[in-house]
Amino acid sequence: MKKPILFIFLFGLVWANIIPRQAEAILADRIAAVVNSEPILLSEIQERLLPEQKKDPAALLAILNQLIDQNLQIQAARKRGVTVSELEIHQAIEETRVRNGLANEEAFKRSLEKENLTIEKISEEIKTQILLKKLFQREILPDIVIKEEEIKRYYQGHPEMFKIPEKRKITQILFKSPPLAEPADKEVIKKEADFLFKKLLEGESIEQFIDENRESSRNFTLSELGSFKKGELLAALDQVAFSLEPGRWSKPIETESGYHLLKVDQNPSVLRPFEEVSQEIKERLFQERSETAMGEWMAILRKSATIDMPLLKDKAFNNPGNLR
């Protein structure tokens, strides 16, 4: 289900980038739709189309429907006496300027000029968004109540959403192999790695092996690599690490770096505590409930409205670039 324009404001998309990208030159005006005797012009649609959407009838229809929903909401606000003051608009413009990282009003104006926009145009857009937010707060918000037991049920019913992925704590023995090592030299290194693996398999500890071979030419490093989630290691190591029985050493694994022997300790996946995610769940449920309520309310507004869309009857509709 598409989200009404009002919803865009509520979840921050407009505030994140209130300065819209200007589409290509707007063609001559004509009436695209009439909503309860109030017209929506083709130019209103075209100025919201990005260049890559210019020839896309689906994009044009989506924006037309958004504008119809917006007009219905504005009309509903008007009937209910919802208004927006100049002070509210000014404060919102200042907030928009700050969020876009613009130091002062002059910088804001220059930014608008680059997009072929004006303070007046942006003020009108912001006024509409504030109006729609107030309408939402009056008509929809009072009926949206998220109870604690609902949040708990969601948490219990969707454990996969709140799992902390399993990690493996890895100890590594590495027999380094020079990048340009001759095959014969690599074979010697492999035999040393195989020999150590055999000793470990027989029950000898790595510490004991190191102590017994201090004077030998065997050259390897022993290190704690830390903890890793699946997919964070080299593919060859990752596959072994997450199939290896905890506490046991792997067979030597060949990579460009040499031969690796791995031992893992398992950190099993666990659920994030309810207290940690309850607010996140509440916001998710609020958004879902709001979308449903808005959709139902908009359906009522549309059903009681008189809406005509002459644009859809135009033969050029399927090729919006030819609309005049």
Helix, strand, coil tally for the chain in percent (to 5): 55, 15, 30
Average pLDDT, the chain: 87
114 and 173: one domain?
Answer: no
β-pairing verdict for 163-164 and 221-229? unpaired
Q: Cα–Cα distances in Å, from 82 out to 10, 69, 78?
A: 17, 17, 6
* Final residue belonging to a domain, choices 245, 268, 291: 268
Record the tokens describing residue 91, joined without a space.
């404060």
Co-location of 29 and 51 in the same domain: yes
User: Mind listing the pLDDT tens digit for each residue in 193-216?
Assistant: 999 999 999 999 999 888 887 766
> In which domain, by residue range, is 180 found?
166-268
| Single pTM value for the model | 0.65
Same domain? For 56 and 120 the reply is: yes
Residues 228 and 108 in one domain: no
Q: Does residue 235 form part of some domain?
A: yes
Are 30 and 132 in a shared domain? Answer: yes
- For residue 159, being part of any structural domain is answered with no
* pLDDT single digits (tens) 213-271: 776 656 799 999 999 999 999 999 999 999 999 999 999 999 999 999 999 997 778 89
Which residue did the predictor score with more confidence, 177 or 320? Answer: 177
Domain count of the fold of the chain: 2
Residue 291 within a domain: yes
Is there a domain that residue 156 lies in?
A: no
Could you tell me if 285 and 258 lie in one domain? no
Q: What is the CATH number of the domain that holds 187?
A: 3.10.50.40
Q: Are residues 127 and 207 part of one domain?
A: no
Paired sense of beta strands 258-267 and 167-176, if any: antiparallel
Mention every residue, 6+ apart, whose C-beta is less than 8 A from residue 152: 274
**Is the Cβ–Cβ distance between 279 and 214 less than 8 Å?**
no
Residues 143 and 122 in one domain: yes
| pLDDT tens-place string over residues 3-60 | 444 444 444 434 333 444 443 444 447 899 999 999 999 999 988 888 888 888 999 9
Domain boundary among 223, 250, 268: 268
C-alpha pair distances (Å), 160 with each of 18, 88, 268: 36, 43, 14
